[in-house]
Amino acid sequence: MPTQPGDGTVPLDDLLRQARGTLASAGIEDAALDARLLVSHFSGIDRVGAITNPRQPVPANRVAAVREALARRAGGEPVHRIVGMRSFYGLDLELSAETLEPRPDTETLVDIVLPRAQAVLARKGACRILDLGTGTGAVALALLSQLPGATALGVDLAPGAVRTARLNAERNGLADRFEAEVSDWFTKSFGAWDFIVSNPPYIRHDDVGRLARDVRDFDPALALDGGIDGLDAYRVIAGEAKRFLADGGMVAVEIGYDQRQSVTGLFLDRGFRLIEARKDLAGHDRALMFGSS
């Protein structure tokens, strides 16, 4: 191992090499990528700086911060939880203990809504979106970023999630078109909405304990546990959504890879029709769009 100077500084390339070794020894699958992300974030030196001056010294206090972050990652904590940020649909979103970490699969939900929302906005000059279980605000804010003139309300049962969603709206310049409220599903959802969207908890209760460690131990249970069969949230949404939809309004939900048939059945039983089903990049059923029959 390279010798550390007496002042506690460490050359950047040495620190990065040590970081890769620490994570690889801990069995982290993407050790090189995660090491680079953590060293870059906590050293304050971006990729360009690392390439142009790889031997630049990293101050002792930042070395300590990097090593603390590496210990957390080696213990199984997801890298984006440690950094406190996650990119989603081109937006930088803060995470908190009460928010699900938004993942690329959920961009499928944004994709299924976006073209129809653009058409509504063009026709009406406005588009109102209700995001149930908003978490970080990811889905609603992604839609607003692509729909100038649209507005959204995000509701969540967790006060910490609501605070985080508001911060993310401010961070991304969308606070003037986004509101967030603590609410149990539709409790504070007044008015008629052009789109109701949700990435609800849909993991079967008995399966939560078998999830990957980085999900099971660090994502909030409230955002994961969908009840005995994983369908509790869909029953509520399908049962109540019609009362809150504008004429021609639509409902879009994210689903688990094996839930298309069961979720579709719940909505059909409540007088909806399936407009579109969309798969994620892995080819799994991921998002469903419903309209009134």
Taking the C-alpha atoms of residue 5 and residue 8, their distance in angstroms, rounded to an integer, is 6
Q: pLDDT of 141-170, one tens digit each?
A: 999 999 999 999 999 999 999 999 999 999
* Confidence bin at 4 (pLDDT 50/70/90): low
> How confident is the model at residue 257, as a pLDDT?
92
The reply to whether 25 and 138 lie within a common domain is: no
CATH of the domain at 18: 1.10.8.10
Task: Among 35, 51, 83, give the residue marking a domain's end.
Answer: 83
Q: Has residue 5 been placed in a domain? A: no
Give tens-digit pLDDT for 31-89.
999 999 999 999 888 888 888 888 889 899 999 999 999 999 998 899 999 998 999 99
Structural domain including 135 reads 90-292
Query: What pLDDT, on the 0 to 100 scale, is given for residue 89?
Result: 95
The DSSP-derived string for 66-78 is HHHHHHHHHTT--
Domain for residue 123, yes or no? yes
Highest mean pLDDT among 2-6, 22-26, 266-270: 266-270
pLDDT computed for residue 1 by the predictor: 41
- CA-nearest of 248, 236, 238, 146 to 195 is 248
Residues 144 and 190 in one domain: yes
* pLDDT, position 6: 56
Q: Where do runs of H (alpha helix) occur along 12-59?
A: 12-25, 31-43, 47-52
Q: Where are the alpha helices (DSSP H) in 125-158?
A: 138-146
Model confidence, pTM: 0.88
Domain count along the chain: 2
pLDDT of residue 187: 87
Q: Is 3 a domain residue?
A: no
Query: Does residue 45 sit in the same domain as residue 155?
Result: no
